[in-house]
Structure 1
């Protein structure tokens, strides 16, 4: 499989770097990229995120649940201040996404 510029393989799994802007326009490409990585241990690099929208948070929550159901690793690494702040507005943390500790 050819390597793309936004991912690399590591000991912990495939690293997927989130784009700077995760708004409504980014939702469909984010879904498509995550689906292409399905089944692999995945490390989400959130270090460059400058803006985080609710739709993309929902996609990340869904992806984390899918990875958990498929017994593959899904982690969020180096969340930027903007990523963490965007989650806090929604009452979430990076760990809550991974652990699926959101109100159903």
Structure 2
């Protein structure tokens, strides 16, 4: 059986597929969706992302920090080339989102 780098899946795990366009218009719905999934281990599927804006990157960084503070798993799965390129423009990687600290 292959090993995963995150916790084993359980009934509490949730998967959320990001929309194709993560621009300013997508920021509020993204925040609302992530907040509705709080308290669960979460896998964010980034496979369909074609455009990634700074605001949505900030939301993902804040979500990763929130999940970490609440000791729940948060991971990004299958990042598309466009998702990775959008992060690279900002000097980030998918792993960097998971490791960033949010100033309080």
TM surpasses 0.5: yes
Aligned residue for 1:39? 39
Aligned residue for 2:24? 24
Give the distance between the partners of 1:69 and 1:100, measured in 2 at CA: 12
Q: Deviation string for 1:76-98 (max 9, x for gaps)?
A: 00000000000000000000001
Paired positions, count: 95
Aligned residue for 1:62? 62
| Unaligned 5+ runs, structure 1 | 1-9
Q: What is the TM-score when the length of structure 1 is the normalising length?
A: 0.86
Q: Quote the offset at 1:101 in angstroms.
A: 6.3
Give the distance between the partners of 2:93 and 2:99, measured in 1 at CA: 10
Give the distance between the partners of 1:11 and 1:65, measured in 2 at CA: 20
Q: Quote the offset at 1:11 in angstroms.
A: 1.9
Q: Quote the offset at 1:99 in angstroms.
A: 1.3
| Unaligned 5+ runs, structure 2 | 1-7
Q: Quote the offset at 1:65 in angstroms.
A: 0.3
List, as ranges, runs of 4+ consecutive aligned residues in structure 1 with deviation greater than 4 Å. none
**RMSD between aligned residues:** 2.0
Give the distance between the partners of 2:101 and 2:66, measured in 1 at CA: 14
Q: Secondary structure at the match of 1:75?
A: strand
